[in-house]
A and B are shown apart, each in its own frame.
Chain A
Amino acid sequence: MSEPQLVEHFFRHEYGRLVAVLLRRVGAEHLDQVEDAVQVALVQALESWVLRGTPKNPSAWLYRVAHNSLIGALRQQGNQQRLLDQFLAPVESEASAITTDDQQAQERGDEDMLCMLFVSCDKDLPLESSLVFALKTLCGFSVPEIAQRLLKTEANVYKRLSRARQRLGQHRELRDGLTAEHYSDRLPAVQQVIYALFSEGYLSSHPDSAIRAELCDEAIRLAKMLSEHPATQTPDSLALLALMHLHRARLSARCSDDGALLLLEEQDRQHWDKYRIAQGLQYLAASASGSSLSRYHAEAAIAAEHCLAPSFEQTRWDRIVENYELLNHVAPSALHQINQALALAERDNPAVGLAHLEAHEPPSWLQQSYQWAAVKADLLLRTGEAEQAKPYIQQALENAPSKAVRQLLNRRLQS
């Protein structure tokens, strides 16, 4: 691996997992020391691996170094003998078990991750602060990525992050374990973290990579664990899992051979993963119980309509519009309205879509986003208002988060 790849892969992927594994063992009150230890391990990896080559089992190597560094820090603090006794014993078996090649070890890492997600989604914290903390500390997101994902300013993300760290640092509940009540109280927040993780993989805000399948797969593994645990196995969790499988099934068809993003219209539907679609539908059927419909149900239904459509033209747009209406009832958002406008443009005609868009004045954060500008430009172009579309095309291209998205918009709006 080259140096930039190392940084990219390990800072993103291993960082959060290592923090979760260590934090679960020593408790959230040692968050600072745990993060320091993980950073030490990553810096050492950079120096040592570039010089001597990547070890056979990079994850275990990182775990061992981070673990030793953490022990050193805890010793210096003194008065941590009980913790050290508990923590020192299992090091060798843990280090060998932590390899990501081994499925069992991956499951154990996922378990630690999920546990820490529940710890970080503390009820005393505002939901958004929990999301910021979990995405930053456990999922390896950068602050700009979180800002983009949660539609916040970077300053706001920093503020939330520092408050969440402070609050979680006072925590001792890991020692006693989380109760079933904790799990059910915090489930909606944990679902949102997993959803955000998946969304980032589905269409990345990262400047160089449009799709990051590994994030999607991690989110699916975490949601699958939710669907298997009695305390978290709710219809919403199953719908979330269905939604992710249905989107994941189309992932490889969303890129052309040269890595450019493809529009739904352009995708070769032969390449959609039918087994994965069937699996998503299976979870969707299992989610169809209870007396409430969550946003995940509505979103999964939309994804299923796309997966089952034999072609773009033959898509049941009437049902997609209906599902967007449901979605807007359970989770009102201007973002959903712009998607509904596109569905209306297909069901009826572009003028109807445009009218819907104009009837729903977007909040300022959305008005500045590339998505709103791109939809507005697209619908104006399709109703023959090329002149009016120009400033929106400009705005969409300027605000596109990545090169791949900019290329896609260019192709769609300037051809």
Chain B
Amino acid sequence: MRIFLRTLLKRKIALAGTGVVVLILVLALFSPFIATHDPMGLDPGVRLQGPSAAHWFGTDHFGRDLFSRIVYGARLTLIGGMGVVVYSVVLGVAIGVLSGYYRQFGFVVMRLVDVVMSFPALLLALAFLAILGPGLTNVIIAVGINFLTRTARIIFGLTLKLKEEVFVEAIRSIGASNLRILARHILPNLMSPLIVQATFTFAFSLLQIASLDFLGVGVPPQIPSWGNMISEGRIYITRAPGVLLFPGVFIVLTVLAFNLVGDVLRDNLDPRFRDQFGGR
């Protein structure tokens, strides 16, 4: 943590990234206090207006306040991203560690993981949503499948390496059980790469969730997610470019911020694992 903070101070761009992350967090936590209007409140009298003192980012085709919708959208963005991270990390680690530790089990499971990874992520998510139907929970499940396999792949490789380390052999020779080795000695050593993986997962899952919302198969259209706002407003972009501009800028800023923070974490957390991440 200390190394991370020191690097942050040295690399201004990463500091800016952290600033954006904090900003989104504040928006999400205090949405009711920050929003100036009701995000669902219709006001046909002020349709498709540009930014003004009353509506900071302008209004959409129903006269809803764009700024307030973006503020509430931050909440959905964080819930979606966190959902995918928690779900893909928990299952990915379980699958990866067990596959790396128990070779026969791993041989079969990793084959399956490879196959799932050979399907394009968005297509797989679309197929799952076709089965599960729309809604935030289902979006998280559908998007998480792909990230789960990536996490499992990385953790599998690391566990294989760790298992051969002298300290694991030493602990086994004094009679430690498999469960104890896994829980007390292997898992703690996986923390650094996991944190890095979680950051990138967060960033790219946001892009995918937004894409699914844009395609109209994500969260229901009236809910103010950033992807939905662009999807709904796209036919009005010539009259009110704000409906395209503002939600989009927030998506880009958030993803960029998490990518920058991820880059710094990768370069500084644990040099032994630096090679494990391709940068995406």
Q: Do A and B bind each other?
A: no
